[in-house]
Chains A and B, each alone.
Chain A
Amino acid sequence: MNLKELYQEIILDHGKNPRNLRKTENFNKDAKGHNPLCGDKVHIFLKLNDNKKLEDISFEGQGCAISMASASIMTDLLKGKAEKEVKEIVTDFLEMIKEKDEIKTNLLKDDEKTKLMCLSGVKQYPMRVKCATLSWHTLTSAIDKSQNEINTENSET
């Protein structure tokens, strides 16, 4: 157990001053996510252009420092990426949070990977993993529109 690993400077910063906490104008995809056990809520907005590139990504919502920081860092890193790249990064991130030791994708720069790895502290806190993954699952749902609302109690985290 190490609180300093969980609440790193960067997490606290993004938690307090989340980037992209707004609603994208003319968004063309969105999805809502909810963790009914703790009340965390997130609404992700995407604007994919004709080339399937993520022109803008933003979110609205409320939650703990971990869930807000995770959404903030995620939106920060994914803006400008192609849909296919987004999917690869999401899969990579979720695998890292679940079981792997590092972020493998070549689609992110080293400093960006370091940012994501800041969220790996939740691994030691199984009850908090859902906080870190909520916005990522919600993003997947927005892209696929497979489900209208992600509910952490019905979906795999």
Chain B
Amino acid sequence: MNISNIKKEFPIFDNKVHNNDLVYLDSANSSQKPRVVVDRIYDFYTKEFSNVGRSVHYLAVAATNLYENTRTSVQKFINAKDSNEIVFTKGATEAINLVASTFGQNHLKEGDEVLLTELEHHSNYVPWHYLRKSKGVKIEFAEINEDGEVTLESIEKKITPKTKIIGVTHLSNVTGAILPIKEIVQLAHSKNIPVLVDGCQGAPHLKLDMQDLDCDFYAISCHKMYGPTGLGILYAKKKWLEELPPYQGGGGMIGEVKKEGITYGDLPNKYEAGTMATAQVIAFDESIKFLNKVGMDKIIKHEKELIEYGQEILRKNNSVKLIGNPKTKGSVLSFTIDGIHPHDIATILDEDGVAIRAGHHCCQILHDKLDIAASARASLGVYNTKDDLDKLNSSINKCKKIFELK
């Protein structure tokens, strides 16, 4: 599949926005969907629909097989050792909540420390905050440096004998910094501390290898990977999924249910209570096929070229200030313009069909640290081109004109 021609695989680009071609630069928020994924959802509901894992009729068996196929595809895609290490959730947020809640139950007590970073999205902070409230757990934050990175040294500085788990993002959704996960895991494991990685931005833009990274937990958001909404994945090492308690109770996750007691099901059912997002799981297999067909290596190369080009043109644009200058940077260009609030930028860009995000991008801790209330963010996907970035730049110039900036 040729990457330069890939927009035509995404039906959304057939539409106009305010009579302009859509320049979609909000993929860190959510990516657009290739036709194969959309079609798969339609086909499943119109030809193959059934609930999974319960009935023995033809449709139920076929749907169950399709559902489990995706689990195996995900396992291969992220090179996990065992397909039972893949748990479907309603999103990466639920995946992190699952870990915080169950790990918290078994392993955290008053005074214990959870080590996060200043780059974390709210979804890798708020679930831990619950434990601060309920158990008196302490939360520490590894600091960013002036380039918007969190280094291994910065993590090391905050590890104490009380650190019980480390939660880090793989790729910052604001500065774009790619964290040295493998080294962080090695360091943490040398001190017997497990590591959870928020892989929301990592999974769509980096090549994943769970066995190589060796992290204990990795949370994935499928809708940021050209997949359906309402679906996330928790990768967790088998030893954790076996040891930790179930997260939600309900149908499908049980062994035996008696008036006097209940046993729980085996993996992966133990963590998949209730009717799951069946159509989304089955359609997500098409997202993985799509990524494999294009090739992660090609996607990484393409996005690297774009991010370098984007930085180059925005740096040349007076009054645009890029946020963060990490040595390894992926997929996002966050910026501010002196004299124009990010929301005004986003509204003016939208008029030209240029879709970006403005606000704190669910990273208030980071924005407080940077001492800005909000920022504008252009984030990239496989379908973006240099032409998209040129249009971004010319729309920024239009903002400056409206606000009479030079």
Contacts and interface: CB of A to CB of B under 8 A. Distances in A.
Interface of A: 1, 3, 6-7, 12, 16, 37-41, 62-66, 68, 125, 128, 131
Nearest to B345: A64
Contact of B344 (A41, A62, A64): A64
A39 B362 CA distance: 11
Given A6-B347, A63-B341, A64-B344, A39 B367 contact: yes
Contact of B343 (A3, A12, A16, A64): A64
Interface string B332-364: 000000011111100110010000001110001
A3 B344 contact: no
Given A38-B374, A39-B360, A39-B374, A65 B351 contact: no
10 contacts: A1-B18, A3-B402, A12-B403, A16-B403, A38-B359, A39-B359, A39-B374, A40-B343, A65-B340, A68-B341
Contacts of A62: 373
A68 B373 CA distance: 14
Contact of B373 (A6, A39, A125, A131): A39
Contacts of A37: 359
B18 to A, nearest CB: 6
Contacts of A1: 18, 351
A125 B358 CA distance: 15
A66 B346 CA distance: 13
A72 B360 CA distance: 24
A16 B348 CA distance: 17
Contacts of B364: 39
Contacts of B340: 65
Contacts of B402: 3, 7, 12
Contacts, number: 50
Contacts of A6: 347
B344 A66 contact: yes
A37 B403 CA distance: 23
Contacts of B342: 38, 64
B19 to A, nearest CB: 9
Contacts of B374: 38-39
Given A38-B358, A39-B367, 14 more contacts: A1-B18, A3-B348, A3-B351, A7-B344, A12-B403, A38-B342, A39-B359, A39-B373, A41-B373, A62-B373, A64-B342, A65-B344, A65-B403, A128-B343
A146 B166 CA distance: 42
Contacts of A68: 341
A62 B341 CA distance: 9
A128 B359 contact: no
A64 B351 contact: no
Contacts of B367: 39
A131 B347 CA distance: 12
Nearest to B367: A39
Contacts of A128: 343, 347
Interface in B146-205: none
A64 B348 contact: no
Nearest to A2: B351
Interface in B352-389: 358-360, 364, 367, 373-374
A16 B405 CA distance: 11
Contacts of A125: 347
Contacts of A38: 342-343, 358-359, 374
A64 B341 contact: yes
B323 to A, nearest CB: 14
B149 to A, nearest CB: 23
Nearest to A37: B359
Contacts of B343: 38, 40, 63-64, 66, 128, 131
Given A3-B402, A12-B403, A65 B348 contact: no
B190 to A, nearest CB: 40
Contacts of A64: 341-344
A123 to B, nearest CB: 13
A110 B340 CA distance: 30
A124 to B, nearest CB: 10
Residue from A16, A38, A125 whose CB has the most chain B CB atoms within 10 Å? A38
Nearest to A63: B341
B374 to A, nearest CB: 4
Top 3 closest A-B pairs, CB basis? A64-B341, A64-B343, A39-B373
A63 B344 CA distance: 10
B339 to A, nearest CB: 8
A63 B360 CA distance: 12
A63 B359 CA distance: 11
Contacts of B404: 12
A65 B18 contact: no
A131 B340 CA distance: 14
Contacts of B403: 7, 12, 16, 65
A68 B344 CA distance: 11
A129 B358 CA distance: 16
B93 to A, nearest CB: 17
A41 B372 CA distance: 12
A131 B351 CA distance: 18
